[in-house]
Amino acid sequence: MERINEKQILIAFFDILGTSRLLNTGEFQKVYDYYSDMIKLCNDSYTPIAICNPLFGKRELFGDLNEVITDLADFNTPYHIINYDLSHAFFSDTFLLWIEIDSFLNPLIGGFLEKCSTVFCEALKRKIPLRGTISVGTSVMDEKNRIFLGKPIAEAAKAEPHQRWLGITIGKSVVDSINRFHSMDMEYLLPFSKHLKYDSDPLLSDFVLDWFTYWNKNEDADIQEILESMNTEIAFNSYYKNSLLYIMASKQRFAIWNEYMICQDIQKLKNLCELGENINDKQKRLRCQGIRLLSSEKIMKAIEYIVNREKAIWFNEKNKDTLLMFNNKFIEINGRKMSIDHLKSLYG
């Protein structure tokens, strides 16, 4: 019996919303034309993926090398770009897009996320509503026999109906495998959770594909008008409203991302302060640096802007409470409010 070939893949699972309506109204041609265009898009191009150069900045570790070896090693280049083969498959109203990756190379995923943004935006231009998930893991992708098996596929398929919107959510498998997104990948990501059906989803992270930023750079059409024209069924009304909330969040990207990052740093500071003096010298230095950074004029002005902006989209209500308190120069330590000035006098 032929042995199966397991691969580590990064996969996007797209599903067309309201397929029965499209088919019942005879719109086969619209979906067929879109699929045909997506096949061409996938077949005619590769996905450029950046990988970290393990030799970057390490010239001195290798002693005397001749010029040829030095040039090949490329000690001055932090990243290499590799063109990955892009694969795809269709199952009626479901569209899979994936690349095989080598986690050992620490690949950045921005190139794949940009490709997913292209696929999503091309669908919206044709007024085809997509919803989906991006996940990662080991799978069997037997294109010859059309057999596709694996945890990331199951995760993406199960997580897709957990969302009320038109958009793509990043699965927890991606966040867990990467640990912390690279700044180059963050161009394609946004913290957003208003569309999730569950407060704590076991399959989905609080990050989504920021397709609107891609749309804003490449398309002239008013996306809000397109979405409003697509919102023709009461059953999906909340999906379109959540999509518009996401667009507002994407427009406020700078403030939203600062909200997320600042709250992460405040939480780290709280954790260090709650340990009191039972911390090592490194933790004490981090605590001191955290207090100085977060109480700096630049950060305090950013917080003031975030809490006072009109029609703000909050990442979550806990963040809102944290920043409102910090804007008033207080922080919660072990369940008690403590003034920032007092904290500076203790540890600053």
One-letter amino acid of 344? K
Please write the tens of the pLDDT for every residue from 260-284: 889 989 999 999 888 888 888 888 8
Confidence of residue 65 (pLDDT cuts 50, 70, 90): low
Percent above pLDDT 70 for the chain = 83
Q: Which residues contact 318 (CB under 8 A, 6 or more apart)?
A: 263
Residue 189 has pLDDT above 80, yes or no: yes
Residue 246 has pLDDT above 90, yes or no: yes
Contact in structure between 342 and 287 (CB atoms under 8 Å): no
Return d(Cα 76, Cα 71) in angstroms, integer: 9
State the helix-helix crossing angle for 237-251 and 223-230, rounded to 10 degrees.
170
Task: Please count the other Cβ atoms lying within 10 Å of the Cβ belonging to residue 120.
Answer: 23
Contact in structure between 323 and 262 (CB atoms under 8 Å): yes
Residue 41 has pLDDT above 80, yes or no: no
Residue 67 has pLDDT above 80, yes or no: no
The secondary structure of 234-256 as a DSSP string is GGGHHHHHHHHHHHHHHHTHHHH
Q: Which residues contact 288 (CB under 8 A, 6 or more apart)?
A: 347, 348
Residue 79 has pLDDT above 90, yes or no: no
Contact in structure between 119 and 218 (CB atoms under 8 Å): no
Which one-letter DSSP state was computed for residue 107? Answer: B
For residue 87, the model assigns a pLDDT of 84
Query: 326 to each of 54, 293, 301, 309, 312, how far by Cα in Å?
Result: 40, 13, 11, 16, 17
Residue 259 has pLDDT above 70, yes or no: yes
* Residue with more model confidence, 54 or 91: 91
Retrieve residue 139's tokens: 């799978």
For tokens 């709250």, the residue is 263
* Bridge partner list, 302: none
* Bridge partner list, 82: 49
344: helix, strand or coil = helix
**CA triple 165-214-183, angle to 5 deg:** 100
Residue 231 has pLDDT above 80, yes or no: yes
**CA triple 146-147-148, angle to 5 deg:** 115
Return d(Cα 48, Cα 90) in angstroms, integer: 23
For residue 340, the model assigns a pLDDT of 92
The secondary structure of 178-227 as a DSSP string is HSS--TTTGGGEEE--TTBSSSS-SSEEEEEE-HHHHHHHH--S-HHHHH
Listed in sequence order, the DSSP H helices in the chain are 19-24, 28-43, 67-73, 110-125, 151-159, 172-178, 211-218, 223-230, 237-251, 253-274, 281-294, 297-308, 317-327, 340-347
Return d(Cα 230, Cα 224) in angstroms, integer: 10
Return d(Cα 104, Cα 95) in angstroms, integer: 28
Element spanning 89, H or E: strand 87-91
The per-residue pLDDT of the chain, averaged, comes to 83
Average confidence (pLDDT) over 291-318: 87
Return d(Cα 80, Cα 326) in angstroms, integer: 42
Q: Which residues contact 134 (CB under 8 A, 6 or more apart)?
A: 10, 11, 12, 13, 112, 113, 116, 156, 168, 169, 170, 171, 174, 209
Global confidence as pTM = 0.80
